[in-house]
Structure formats: structure tokens, C-alpha cells
Amino acid sequence: MDKVIAIVGPTAVGKTALSIELARQEDGEVISGDSMQVYRHLDIGTAKVTPAERAGIPHHLIDICDVDQQYSAARFKQEANRWIEEITRRHRLPIIAGGTGLYIQSLTDNLALGDDQDNGEGEESPIRARWEQLAEEKGNAYLWEQLAHLDPAASRKIPVGNQRRLVRALEVIEKTGRPFSEQPQEERQADFLLIGLNTARPVLYDRINARVDQMIHQGLVEEARWLYEQGGSQLPAGKGIGYHELFDYFAGRCSLDEAVAKIKLDSRHYAKRQLTWFRNRMPVHWFDLVSGQDAIQDIKSVVDDWLKK
């Protein structure tokens, strides 16, 4: 079985640096798991790893789309699996680094996405949110009964206690109009080790704010203006945090200081959504690289033990 490391967590917590260090140590290659780094020309606002920072480590799924092209979790899953297979064939270790929860989960849980156009920016789909709310109000048994009515074959394979799978099955049925048991299911071909990075909330927020200030200094306003002139919020790439907030400034609806403050606020809210996604949906080993003195050694120890299994 192929082995894959996925480094996840909120924005500005150090995922990129860790992915490069592990790639150097374990002879790996990095696959971006970020829904915005796929876009060409958007380098500053997406915190895209620079050629110098890559330190000779091959990186994939970066700069593969124009800003007017739609990118989806379904496409990511297909292309990431292809790169996992290719990297493994070269006897190297695939390392996925990114904070787009749906993208990572599409691989680890082999989600049947079909033509799902969700960009995975941490927002719940309305269908999924409704089923999760029903699970909270009425319990898993209610969801299982609904699934048994809609798709008896699927209900026989999903236990009452597995809320995540129950919600996903009901969501897919509602989206596609077909039983979950009849959806194309691929065999999982990889063994994933999920390394999660986090730190104390005040420290994380300070890092996010400092990163936004650095982006402004590096030329984010000019980069966002270019995107605005290409079509702005009408483009798939125009919905990204760090860009759409500045569009209001360009249109004269707010000051630059107000736009920058909104970027920081939206980034902090996004970080909370990212943490909620990874904590509730995926079996992550969490570490604090910012405050934990021995965290990097602990991570390397976990990785080494996992690779030996």
C-alpha cells in the first residue's frame, strides 16, 4: 500500500516549511493541498511557496490554472491521486501540504465527489449542514433510519455510530439523486499519516495578522488590482481571501486600512473553520511547532515509526 503524509492545519501555522523539511529528510515530493495556489499570477495572497523556498524539492498542483478557470475538489482528487501514484513509482514519498479540508479528506476518505464544484474553502455545503444539524437534534439513529429508507444497501454497511459516513451518504444521495451504494467506489490505495499543526489561539492570530501585513508590504494590493482588472469577483479566483476584500477598496467602498482589517478578520475566521474541519472529520496527530520546543523531533519520530510499519 502506498504511503502518503498530509500536513494540515490553519493558515499561517508553518505547514509549508514542515513539508519541505520532511521532503528533504525522507526523499519526498510535495503536493499542494490548497485551493488557491492552483492559480497562476496569484503568488502573494495565496502565500505560494517561492522557487527559493522549495530548495530543489519538486512541488505539484501549483500554477496549473488561469484565474478564470474553475477548480474543484473532484479535480483535485483525480490529479492528486495521479501524482501520488507517480511519486510512489519513483520510490519517493508523497507529502501533501495544505489547509483545504475537503481536498485532503477527498483523498483520505475516498469521497465520491462526482462533478462537485466545491472549492473546499472550509464552508459547509447547505445539504451537509442540514444533515449535521438533524444529527445533533435527533441523533444518529434518525439519520440511519433515513438512509435505510433511501438506500438499504448502504445502511447495512454504515453503522449507526458513524455519523460522518451517514451524513456523507445522505448528502451524496440528495446531490446526485442516486443511491450511495451505487456511486462509483474506488479502493483506497494509500496509507495516510495526517500531521496537524496548530498553536495557541492568540499566537495563531498574531501570526495571521503579521502575515497579512507582510503580504501588503510584498505587493498584495498590486496583485489584487491586477485580478480586479481581469474580472474581480466574477472570476473563480476572485473569491479568495486577500483578494475580494480589496475589491471594495478599488471600487471606492472602503479605505485601504478597512480592507486590510477585513482581510485579517476573514483570515482568522477561515483559520477557525479549518481547525473545526480537521478536528471533527479526520484522524490527525496534532503538534505545536510554534510554541513546542521538541515538536519537530516528535513529528520526525512519529513519521519514522509509521514508515517502518
Neighbouring CB atoms inside 10 A of 97's CB total 28
Q: Is 14 annotated as a binding residue?
A: yes
Q: Is 262 annotated as a binding residue?
A: no
Dihedral of the CA atoms 230, 234, 238, 241 (nearest 10)?
A: 150
In Å, how far are 7, 61, 238, 289 from 196, measured between CA atoms?
A: 6, 21, 28, 10
Amino acid at 32: S
All three cell numbers of 302, joined, read 512519529
Q: Is 10 annotated as a binding residue?
A: yes
Q: Is 15 annotated as a binding residue?
A: yes
Integer Cα distance of 234 and 208 in angstroms: 27
Considering only CA atoms, which of 244, 307, 250, 237 is closest in space to residue 22? 307
Integer Cα distance of 296 and 123 in angstroms: 30
Whether the pLDDT of residue 119 is over 90: the answer is: no
Model confidence pLDDT, tens digit, residues 126-168 = 888 899 889 989 999 999 999 999 999 999 988 898 887 898 8
Residue written as cell 480586479?
228
Considering only CA atoms, which of 130, 111, 81 is closest in space to residue 180? 111
Give CA angle at 12 (8, 15), nearest 5°.
35
pLDDT-based confidence at residue 194 (cuts at 50, 70, 90)? very high
Domain boundaries, the chain: 2-119+188-200+283-308, 126-182, 202-271
Global confidence as pTM: 0.80
All three cell numbers of 99, joined, read 489547509
Top-confidence residue, 7 or 2: 7
Integer Cα distance of 12 and 41 in angstroms: 20
Local structure of 65: helix, strand or coil:
strand
Dihedral of the CA atoms 83, 87, 88, 93 (nearest 10)?
A: -110
Whether the pLDDT of residue 212 is over 90: the answer is: yes
Percentage of the chain beyond pLDDT 70 is 94
The confidence score (pLDDT) of residue 127 equals 87
Q: Is 13 annotated as a binding residue?
A: yes
Model confidence pLDDT, tens digit, residues 133-142 = 899 899 999 9
Which CATH number applies to 2-119+188-200+283-308: 3.40.50.300, 1.10.10.60, 3.40.50.1000, 3.90.1720.10? 3.40.50.300
Model confidence pLDDT, tens digit, residues 16-63 = 999 999 999 999 999 999 999 999 999 999 999 999 999 999 999 999
Q: Is 11 annotated as a binding residue?
A: yes
Please give the mean pLDDT across all residues of the chain: 91
Model confidence pLDDT, tens digit, residues 58-104 = 999 999 999 999 999 999 999 999 999 999 999 999 999 999 999 99
Q: How far is CA 120 from the centre of its chain?
A: 6
Sheet architecture: strand order including 2-8: 59-60, 28-32, 93-97, 2-8, 190-197, 285-287
Average pLDDT rounded to a whole number, residues 169-177: 88
Is 74:244 a contact under the CB 8 Å cutoff?
no
CATH class entry, domain 202-271: mainly alpha
CATH 1.10.20.140 fits 126-182, yes or no: yes
